[in-house]
Structure 1
Amino acid sequence: MVSTNPSVLIVCLGNICRSPLGEAVLQHVAKQRGLEIFVDSAGTAGYHVGEEADTRTIDVCKKHGVPINGLARQVSREDFNRFTHILAADESNLANLQRIRPENSKAEVRLFGSYDDNRPIADPYYGGISGFERCYEQCLRYSNKFLDEIVGTTSTATTSNL
C-alpha cells in the first residue's frame, strides 16, 4: 500500500556512509517530533549491496543516540514511484538519479542540502571520524529543515507500510 504521507529515500554512492546516516537521523528526528514517516536509503552504485553501514557511521549514530540498522542496497526504478521524496547526498548522485528516473515517476528528486544551505554532503569514507561527525551535523540540520518544509512543526503524520 502506498502512503499519502511523505516517504523518503536518502541516496549516496555506496549506501554505507552518508545515506544510511541520513536515513537514521531523519527517522530519529521525525520520531522525536512525534511523526511516523517511512525512511529508507540506497546507493546509486551496487558496490556494497548486502553490507552493513560503515563502522564509523554506526559509531557516530551510537554516540548521538540515533538507532541505525539495515543493509546497503542499490536504487531501483521502482523507488521513483514508491517514495514521495528522493534526496541525494551530492550533485553527482543527483545527476545519476535524474538519469535513471523513469518518465512519469511521482518522486520529487532533490539534493538533500537544498532544504538548507544547498551544499552537498561530503563523502567521509576516505577520511577520519571527523568527516562522519560533519556528515551527522549536516544530516541533522537537513532533516530538521526537510521536516519543517514538508511536514511542518506541529502536524502529526502516520505512514502505512510501503
Structure 2
Amino acid sequence: MNVLFVCTGNTCRSPMAEGILRDMAEKKGMEITVKSAGVFAYDGEKASREAIEVMEYSGIDISNHRASLVHKKLMEEADLIITMSYSHKDVLIRKFPFAKEKIFTLKEYAYGVDGDVIDPFGRGIAAYSRTKNELTDSINQLIVKLND
C-alpha cells in the first residue's frame, strides 16, 4: 500500500501525517510506503521548526524531511491520496483527474465526514500540538480502515 499525504507547502501537516503513519505502521508491522507533498510546495524546503519540535515530543523524527511539489508520478504511484483539506482535494482532482477515485480528505476517509485538518502555520507551538493530536487520532482511524 502506497499512501500520499498532501497539504499546501509540505512543511507542516503532511510531513507530520507522514511521520505519524510511518511510525504507527512500523509498530503494527504493516507494510505501507508513506510519502507527502504539497500543492504549492517549494522543493527541498525543510519541515517547519514547530512541526519538527512537536513530533520530537512523540519520538518521531521528521528533521530530515524535504518538501516536494506534488507531481504526476507521485499521484500515479499512490494507492491512496489523503489531503488535509477539501481545497487540496479539489486542486488535485482538477490537476490530476485520472486519480479522482483515490483522493480523499483525511476526515472523509477516516470518519466519513467533511472537515479540514487545522493548519497550524504561523500560529505557534500550541497550534502545532493540536494539529499533531488531530492527525494522530485521524490516522489511528485510517489504520483501522486499512486493516478492514
State the TM-score, normalizing by the size of structure 2: 0.91
| Divergent runs of 4+, >3 A | none
Find the residue that maps to 1:123 and give its secondary structure: coil
Report deviation, 1:39.
0.2
Equivalent pairs: percent with the same residue?
29
In structure 2, distance between residues paired with 1:27 and 1:125: 22
Instruction: Return the match for 1:119 from 85, 110, 115.
Output: 115
User: What corresponds to 2:84 in structure 1?
Assistant: 89
Q: Flag structure 2 segments of 5+ consecutive residues without an equivalent.
A: none
Q: Could you tell me which runs of 5 or more consecutive residues in structure 1 were left unpaired when the two chains were aligned.
A: 1-5, 153-162
Question: What residue number does 1:98 align with?
Answer: 93
Identify the residue that residue 158 of structure 1 maps to in structure 2: none
Q: Is 1:59 aligned with 2:59?
A: no
Query: Structure 1 residue 80: deviation in Å?
Result: 2.1
Residue 133 of structure 1 corresponds to 129
Conservation of the 8 A alpha-carbon contact between 1:9 and 1:87: yes
Higher RCO, 1 vs 2 (CA within 8 Å, ≥6 residues apart): 1
Mapped partners of 1:32, 1:107: distance in 2: 29
Check conservation: 2:37, 2:68, Cα contact below 8 A: yes
Q: Which has the higher helix share?
A: 2
> Where do residues 149-160 of structure 1 align in structure 2 (5 Å cutoff)?
149-152=145-148
Corresponding letter in the other structure for 2:138 = Y
**Partner Cα distance (1:133, 1:49) in 2:** 25
CA distance in 2, matches of 1:97, 1:146: 20
Instruction: Work out whether residues 84 and 105 of structure 2, in 8 Å CA contact, stay in contact via their aligned partners in 1.
Output: yes
- Within 1, Cα distance between the matches of 2:48 and 2:81? 22
Q: Which amino acid aligns with 1:85?
A: L
Q: CA RMSD in A?
A: 1.5
Does residue 1:13 correspond to 2:16, yes or no?
no
Normalising by structure 1, report the TM-score: 0.84
Shift of 1:95: 0.8
More displaced 10-residue stretch of structure 1: 86-95 or 110-119: 110-119
CA contact (8 A) 2:93 2:100 kept: no
Post-superposition shift, 1:130? Answer: 1.0
Q: Match for 1:58: what amino acid?
A: I
Do 2:86 and 2:116's aligned partners in 1 also have CA atoms closer than 8 Å? Answer: yes
Local SS of the residue matching 1:78: helix
